[in-house]
Chain A
Amino acid sequence: MALLEVKGLEVKFPMRHGELTALRDVSFSLDKGERLGIVGESGAGKSVAAFAILNLIGRPGYISNGEIIFEGSDLAKMNARQIRSIRGNRINMIFQDPMMTLNPVLTIGTQMIECLQTHMNLNREQARERSIEKLRQVQIPSPEDRIDQYPHELSGGMRQRVVIAIALLTDPSVIIADEPTTALDVTIQAEIMELLLSLCEDNDVALMLITHDLGVVSQVTQRTIVMYAGRVVEEGPTRRIVENARHPYTHGLIDALPERTAPGMRLNQIPGVMPSLAAIPTGCSFNPRCEHVMDVCRSEQPGYVTDGEFRVACHWVAGREQQK
């Protein structure tokens, strides 16, 4: 049985003129110790999906439909107290920008110890010991001194290490990392990603990696979900998605990777932009940007074509499958 299973998740934001649907019918699952990538452009709903799992969507957004089954219980139906015992304890998050994630007026130690004291029955001394231990694991030099410092005294890379240490504090079973290296210096991105992966592996933590960079996903994850305008458009083993993508949007993402372009040439790009939630086209939401667009794409939302672990939502792909 899957560790975390999201079924038919739908998230809505009530606005002055009706409701906006940020996620529609999002389903995926995550096994113990697995590494899952969620890819898509900005606005695809990747982060909303991540926050929805822990019921952390900013007001007025809410989960209007679907189930989030984690270790046998539905997170979407939990009350505030119950979900708090999951947040930061069983499922932890890593945010994009370490400059903004740590509270500027509290010491590193305070921000670590409070987690332990909230979720584990430790006294201050034990919590401090454990925090220092975790800081050492993320390779922060002289953690005994660092723990009493404030975030502004650390570099961006160091801060993201601290955030990773916080995420690992309570021995969670899932870590959701939302663009964990995007805000960092290019030179240390690989280093931090490496660290995150090896720590997840050592501690048998399942990792949900959210990113717009298909290149990263292809290197580190086992399975990949491609999202577009709040919907999952393609899902499958990462290797298969990268080598044999079916959905035209995934194709576009892969072609846009810099390594797909010869040096000195213009980078490929997908024409057009992601539609805003208020103006999602009828039919397939990707149809205005799609090179294979057909009449049916403009009127009908495509269903999933499944093939074992693999599924894709595209009329064009479905048509070609039938011809075979």
Chain B
Amino acid sequence: MIAFLVRRFGQALVVMFVISLISFSIQDNLGDPLREMVGQSVSEAERQALRDEMGLNDPFLVQYWRFLKKAVRGDLGDSYFFKKPALDVILEKFPATMELVIGATLIILFLSIPIGVYCAINPRSWFTKLMMGMSIVGISIPVFLTAIMLIYLFSIGLGWLPSFGRGETTMIGFWETGFLTRDGLLHLILPSIALSSIMLPLFIRLIRSEMMEVLEQDYIRFAWAKGLSRTRIWFLHALKNTLLPVITVGGVQIGTMIAYTILTETVFQWPGMGFLFLEAVNRVDTPLIIAYLIVVGVIFVITNTLVDLIYGLVNPTVRLAGGQA
């Protein structure tokens, strides 16, 4: 277990290094940070002097080395726009994005398992056919379009739910949460649905097909032959085997969902990391862009590690390296 975590940490460092190298090397192609930072009145000579002062004219490797030296101490540079450490700016927005991801994950968890199982058990029912049809539509429509349609329907048309922002939030330590107020929760509904709109159909289909395969296995026939109740066979014998591959795929997808937050947050003006990232790109705020990519990389590594740990707990045939054989 410990050995596994240590090895994972080593892998994470390599991943972080690669991410930083890639994001650092594309920064020159994003545009000129000076254009956004200084007014029109500043002359070209002054701009050049400023570039020298900021080290932007140094060779790539020199700049990267300077970045790395600071990065290992947790300093990812200052945001050009906010004039604050980029990491602080990102982490301030982290709770907003995290709560959005949690909202979407809850929707996916509580809907995909019952629906997927139902569709596997009753492959011919009209509900299954409806779900299979709808899931294709859901997967095919891009997130931003779903988001706009949701706003049109529930905010503009029916006027039930707010269309932008986080609403009223409370601070718990450093964490700014919208979970504790009614207004905050109402604001969370539409963005969460929009964010889950791609993953939910994907998971329903995944759970359905895995479950259908499991139901054909000999051990399920044996369970029937043992005279067990239907609920026990479906929800213990079959579901536990169904969830193994779902956990693996699901872990990767949670990481991907963070990428979709950029779209969702933009449409809903959700003050999270994704929205911030898009602003940073517009402002050519390179330290902020790099910091965002690295933070997302860390989240990826953490979720994948957690998924591996959970998988090891659920699947008895897997023993994590260093665990008891």
Q: A residues engaging B (CB < 8 A)? A: 54, 56, 58, 80, 84-89, 92-93, 95, 97, 100-107, 114-115, 118-119, 150, 152, 163, 166
Candidates A58, A87, A150; contact of B226 at CB < 8 Å: A87
Supposing A95-B218, A97-B218, A152-B316 touch, asked if A106 and B227 sit within 8 A by C-beta, the answer is no
Whether B227 pairs with A84 at a CB distance below 8 angstroms is: yes
A-B contact pairs, 20 of them (CB 8 A): A56-B224, A80-B230, A84-B228, A85-B227, A87-B225, A89-B227, A92-B225, A92-B226, A93-B222, A95-B218, A100-B218, A104-B317, A105-B240, A105-B241, A105-B244, A105-B315, A106-B240, A107-B316, A118-B226, A152-B317
- Which residues of the other chain, A, contact B227 by a CB distance below 8 angstroms? 84-89, 115, 118-119
- Which residues of the other chain, A, contact B240 by a CB distance below 8 angstroms? 103, 105-106
- Which residues of the other chain, A, contact B244 by a CB distance below 8 angstroms? 105
Supposing A118-B226, A118-B227 touch, asked if A150 and B317 sit within 8 A by C-beta, the answer is yes
Candidates B223, B226, B316; contact of A105 at CB < 8 Å: B316
Q: In the complex the two chains form, what is the Cα distance from A241 to B257 in whole Å?
A: 68
Identify which of residues 295-325 in chain B touch chain A, using a CB-to-CB cut-off of 8 Å.
314-317
Q: B residues engaging A (CB < 8 A)? A: 217-219, 221-230, 232, 236-237, 240-241, 244, 314-317
Q: In the complex the two chains form, what is the Cα distance from A114 to B230 in whole Å?
A: 13
Chain A's closest residue to B244 (CB) is A105
Chain B's closest residue to A97 (CB) is B218
Candidates A54, A102, A119; contact of B219 at CB < 8 Å: A102
Chain B's closest residue to A102 (CB) is B219
Q: In the complex the two chains form, what is the Cα distance from A119 to B315 in whole Å?
A: 28
Q: In the complex the two chains form, what is the Cα distance from A85 to B229 in whole Å?
A: 10
Whether B228 pairs with A95 at a CB distance below 8 angstroms is: no
Whether A118 pairs with B223 at a CB distance below 8 angstroms is: no
Whether B222 pairs with A104 at a CB distance below 8 angstroms is: no
Supposing A84-B229, A114-B228 touch, asked if A106 and B218 sit within 8 A by C-beta, the answer is no
Q: In the complex the two chains form, what is the Cα distance from A203 to B247 in whole Å?
A: 45
- Whole-angstrom distance from the CB of A6 to the nearest CB of chain B? 17
Q: In the complex the two chains form, what is the Cα distance from A312 to B61 in whole Å?
A: 91
Most chain-B Cβ atoms within 10 A of its Cβ — which of A86, A104, A152? A104
Supposing A106-B236, A150-B317, A152-B316 touch, asked if A56 and B221 sit within 8 A by C-beta, the answer is yes
- Whole-angstrom distance from the CB of B70 to the nearest CB of chain A? 48
Chain A's closest residue to B237 (CB) is A103
Whether A115 pairs with B226 at a CB distance below 8 angstroms is: yes
Candidates A87, A103, A114; contact of B224 at CB < 8 Å: A87
Q: In the complex the two chains form, what is the Cα distance from A118 to B224 in whole Å?
A: 12
Q: In the complex the two chains form, what is the Cα distance from A126 to B219 in whole Å?
A: 25
- Whole-angstrom distance from the CB of A14 to the nearest CB of chain B? 13
Q: In the complex the two chains form, what is the Cα distance from A58 to B236 in whole Å?
A: 20
- Which residues of the other chain, B, contact A56 by a CB distance below 8 angstroms? 221, 224-225
Q: In the complex the two chains form, what is the Cα distance from A256 to B219 in whole Å?
A: 33
- Whole-angstrom distance from the CB of B215 to the nearest CB of chain A? 10
- Which residues of the other chain, A, contact B315 by a CB distance below 8 angstroms? 105
Whether A103 pairs with B314 at a CB distance below 8 angstroms is: no
Whether A103 pairs with B228 at a CB distance below 8 angstroms is: no
Q: In the complex the two chains form, what is the Cα distance from A157 to B45 in whole Å?
A: 85
Q: In the complex the two chains form, what is the Cα distance from A317 to B232 in whole Å?
A: 52
Q: In the complex the two chains form, what is the Cα distance from A122 to B317 in whole Å?
A: 30
Q: In the complex the two chains form, what is the Cα distance from A84 to B223 in whole Å?
A: 11
- Whole-angstrom distance from the CB of B165 to the nearest CB of chain A? 45
- Which residues of the other chain, B, contact A115 by a CB distance below 8 angstroms? 226-228
Name the 3 nearest CB pairs between A and B, nearest first. A88-B227, A87-B227, A88-B226
Q: In the complex the two chains form, what is the Cα distance from A88 to B222 in whole Å?
A: 9
Supposing A103-B237, A105-B315, A105-B316 touch, asked if A166 and B219 sit within 8 A by C-beta, the answer is no
- Which residues of the other chain, B, contact A92 by a CB distance below 8 angstroms? 225-226
Candidates A80, A88, A150; contact of B225 at CB < 8 Å: A88
Q: In the complex the two chains form, what is the Cα distance from A4 to B228 in whole Å?
A: 22
- Which residues of the other chain, B, contact A101 by a CB distance below 8 angstroms? 218-219, 222
- Whole-angstrom distance from the CB of A13 to the nearest CB of chain B? 15
Q: In the complex the two chains form, what is the Cα distance from A166 to B232 in whole Å?
A: 17
- Which residues of the other chain, B, contact A84 by a CB distance below 8 angstroms? 227-229
Candidates B225, B230, B232, B316; contact of A104 at CB < 8 Å: B316
- Whole-angstrom distance from the CB of B233 to the nearest CB of chain A? 10
- Which residues of the other chain, B, contact A89 by a CB distance below 8 angstroms? 227
Candidates B226, B236, B314, B316; contact of A166 at CB < 8 Å: B226
Whether A103 pairs with B226 at a CB distance below 8 angstroms is: no
Whether A104 pairs with B219 at a CB distance below 8 angstroms is: yes
Whether B222 pairs with A102 at a CB distance below 8 angstroms is: yes
